[in-house]
Chains A and B, each alone.
Chain A
Amino acid sequence: MISPDLSRTLNALALLVISGILTAAFIDQIANFDLPCPLCLLQRVGFVAVGFGLCLNLVYGPRPQHYGIMIVSAIIGGSASVRQILLHIVPGTGSYGEPFLGLHFYTWAALAFFCITLGAAVMLSLERQVSDPARTPVGLAGRPLAKLAIAVILLVSAGNAVSALLECGPGVCADNPTGYELLDEAEEEVDRMEQAQ
C-alpha cells in the first residue's frame, strides 16, 4: 500500500511539522514572554522524543519498533498535556498562558499527541513500507528532505535545551516562571559587583 520511499518522505514531513510546533512555541515564548512552565517543558520534551522515532525511520528505514517509540513518547507527552488541562478544567481555576485560536497551548499539544498516536497507528497498519533490513539503505544519502528535517529538529532541540537551562538553572523549574533564572542571577551578580566597586 505504501513504498519505503514514500514512507520516509511522510516521516520527514511529519518531523518538519513537529519542528514547526516547537518553533511556534519558541516564538510565543520569545515574542510574548510567555515562559513555559515545567509541564509545558515536558510536553516539548515529548515532541522531541517523538522526533527520535521519526529520525530512526529516516536513517534506518521504517520499522514497527520506531513507530512504537513514537507512540510511547506521544503517550508520555500527552500525559503532561492532559494533566495540565485537568489542572485548569474547573471553572475559576484560571489557566496558563494566553489561548491561541480559542484553545490553550497545552490543549493543542494534547490534540497533537493524539494525532501523532493515530498517525503512527495508521502507518503501522501499512505493511509494504517495511522492507528487508538487509536490503534497506541506511543513512541519509540522496535524501535532502530528510537531512533538512533532521537538521531543523536538532536545532530546535538544542535551542530548547539552552532555553530550559536559562529559565530553570541547574535545579528544579519554578511552577510559575517569571523570568530566566540564570540570566537574572547573572544580572544580580553584575549589580553586586558594580555596587562593591
Chain B
Amino acid sequence: MIALLFVLLTLSKVLLLFQRSMPAYLVFGVAMLLNVYWLNFHITNALALNL
C-alpha cells in the first residue's frame, strides 16, 4: 500500500536525524523499490488504461 511508502520515507528521515546513515539508506532503498513496483502497477492497471 502507498501509505507504507510514506511511512518508510518518514522513517528514513528520522534515522538521518539520529545520524544512522546506513539504516536510512536501506529504508530509503526499500521505499524506492516499492515505489517503482506501485508505479508499474498503477501505470499498467487495466482500469486506468480503459479510457
| Shortest distance between the CB of B36 and any CB in chain A (Å) | 7
Per the 8 Å Cβ criterion, residues 13-67 of A in contact with B are 38-39, 41-42, 44-46, 48-49, 51-52, 55-56, 59-60
Q: Quick check: is A112 within 8 A (CB to CB) of the other chain?
A: no
* Main SS class of interface, B: helix
Residue of B nearest to A159 (CB): B6
A59 near B16: Cβ-Cβ < 8 Å: yes
User: How far apart sit A173 and B48, CA to CA, in the bound complex (Å)?
Assistant: 12
Residue of A nearest to B49 (CB): A87
Contact residues on B (Cβ < 8 Å of other chain), bracket? 20 to 34
Contact of A76 among B10, B12, B16, B35 (CB under 8 A): B35
B-binding segment of A3-11, A120-128, A164-172, A189-197: A164-172
Contact of B13 among A83, A93, A157 (CB under 8 A): A157
Which of B2, B12, B35, B42 has its CB near the most chain A CB atoms (within 10 A)? Answer: B2
Per the 8 Å Cβ criterion, residues 1-48 of B in contact with A are 1-3, 5-7, 9-10, 12-14, 16-17, 19, 21, 24, 28, 31-32, 35-36, 38-39, 41-43, 45, 47-48
Known: A38-B45, A168-B3. 15 other contacts (CB 8 A): A38-B38, A42-B39, A42-B42, A45-B2, A48-B9, A49-B9, A49-B28, A80-B42, A139-B19, A140-B17, A157-B9, A170-B1, A173-B1, A175-B42, A175-B47
- 7 A-B pairs within 8 Å (CB atoms) are namely A44-B6, A45-B2, A48-B6, A59-B19, A138-B19, A154-B13, A165-B1
